[in-house]
Amino acid sequence: MMRSDFRLSVWRRLPALKLRPLWLLLALVVLSVKPTAWGEDAATTAPRNIVDCIGVADATTVATCGQGWLEIINGYPVLHLKGTPYEMGYQHGALLRQSVRQNMETLLQDKGEQALVEIAGISLKPRDVIETIIRAQKPFVPEKYLIEMAGLAAGAGLAPDDIRAANFIPELFHCSGFAIAGDATADGTLYHGRVLDYAIDWGLQRHAVIIVAEPDGGIPFVNIAYSGFIGSVTGMNNRQISIGEMGGGGLGNWLGVPMAQLMREVIETTETLDQAVAVFRDNPRTCEYYYVIADGKSGESVGIAATWQQLDVIRAGEAHPLLPHAVPQCALLSAGDRYHELVRRTRDGLGSFTAESALSLMDRPVAMRSNLHNVLFEPASSRFWVANAGDDGSPAAEQPYYSFQLTELLSRQPSAAAPELALEMPSDTTTVAIPATAP
């Protein structure tokens, strides 16, 4: 994500509403950190700390709510959601009530009300811009997500407007990613890495949660998320499709489906790489974003360069004007010196990558100082590894990784002795959300 000094530069550019080339935008991100010699934060050779969370028998069930429940596995909160959009939203809000409320207060009051720039004597705040984005995107938001946000607001005891406002913040995320497979890895296994760089000074890492969702009529998936957010910026489903994103320019072009909801559609509805690409091809898009999508069944991966006007699909091993250094059977996505370092590391390890060595591709300085979370997916086995930034603001790349497996998480059951929270349903959930066509 963006540090506070970079946020100011972004908001100042909003009136121009122009597309920024990927190289320029990410160069600004790099320049926003404290200047250091390249390599100062390079990965060390110390053994990596990995906390195994697969098959843990002594996890703590915090509470249940309807078919949903919250457990703590080796210190990591895992939220299980199941049912209709409203039910899943309510379970989310009720089971993570305190965390959701604290997160929303930080994002929308402490940070959202700070004056960032003055235009014609009027102070412009992040919340003001977010409300503008909401009005522009409302006609494009699927009804089910409005209903889920309404359920989340009810469960957490918050105003629906606040939940909707916070859920549009991911429109501003910026990051890196890669997928390597075939001859690039030691045994042909496909690994998909995702680096999320954003404003760790906003404290999102204190509200990190793994969401294991089983939506009615949808595909079960895992979402590497934060309390109060229903969209996805990092996720994988049990059809072995995984996805991550990286923000570009084009701020102000909001007339489309929000990025995080398009990504949620991928993990909730698609079973193949072609279907995942079609989600972006066939829906109106916003701004400029870049994606890496992988399919563990075929061992294939693609990069997508998408704006509100154009969509380019870059197959693994192909070059692109913005990503000129092709590496066989690899899709590499980053920018500036970080991109060159990612390419160098990948070429150095070509043919020998295992899960643990693939984690090193996300070490500093490929990950920025504002590294909020790192995730490595192994879609074919549904295993994944997650690291979050420290409470003191230290990058995720320097923190322990927690290993999970989606198939195992889906098989877990709550303790019968856990407290049960009431699932309060309105008589008609179709009336709880502002219609997608409202002015």
Predicted pLDDT at 46: 57
- Amino acid in the structure at residue 278: A
CA–CA separation, 234 and 232 (whole Å): 6
CATH number for the domain spanning 185: value is 3.60.60.10
Report percent pLDDT > 70 for the chain: 82
Tell me the CA end-to-end span of the chain in Å, nearest whole number: 31
Domain presence at residue 331:
yes
Query: Pairing between strand 60-65 and 420-421?
Result: parallel
CA dihedral defined by 14, 305, 321, 18, rounded to 10 degrees? Answer: -20
Domain presence at residue 2:
no
Task: List, edge to edge, every strand of the sheet that includes 60-65.
Answer: 311-315, 300-307, 288-295, 241-247, 234-237, 221-226, 208-215, 76-83, 68-73, 60-65, 420-421
CA–CA separation, 313 and 317 (whole Å): 12
Domain presence at residue 192:
yes
Structure pTM?
A: 0.87
Cα–Cα nearest to 180, from 34, 395, 378? 378
Predicted pLDDT at 14: 34
- Segment 133-146, tens digit of pLDDT: 888 888 999 999 99
- pLDDT average, residue stretch 394-417: 97
Cα–Cα nearest to 49, from 404, 402, 361? 402
Residue 32 has pLDDT above 70, yes or no: no
Residue 83, both tokens: 């049912």
Name the one residue in this structure whose structure tokens are 């935008």. Answer: 25
Domain presence at residue 48:
no
Q: Number of structural domains, the chain?
A: 1
The boundaries of the domain holding residue 298 are 173-206+234-399
Domain presence at residue 14:
no
Domain presence at residue 149:
no
CA–CA separation, 64 and 149 (whole Å): 19
Predicted pLDDT at 135: 87
- pLDDT average, residue stretch 95-116: 84
Predicted pLDDT at 359: 97
Domain presence at residue 42:
no
Residue 30 has pLDDT above 90, yes or no: no
- Answer whether the bond into residue 258 is a cis peptide, omega within 30°: no
- Amino acid in the structure at residue 163: I
Domain presence at residue 364:
yes
Output the average pLDDT for the chain: 85
- Segment 319-368, tens digit of pLDDT: 999 889 999 999 999 989 999 999 999 999 999 999 999 999 999 999 99
Predicted pLDDT at 114: 62
Predicted pLDDT at 39: 39
- pLDDT average, residue stretch 405-414: 98
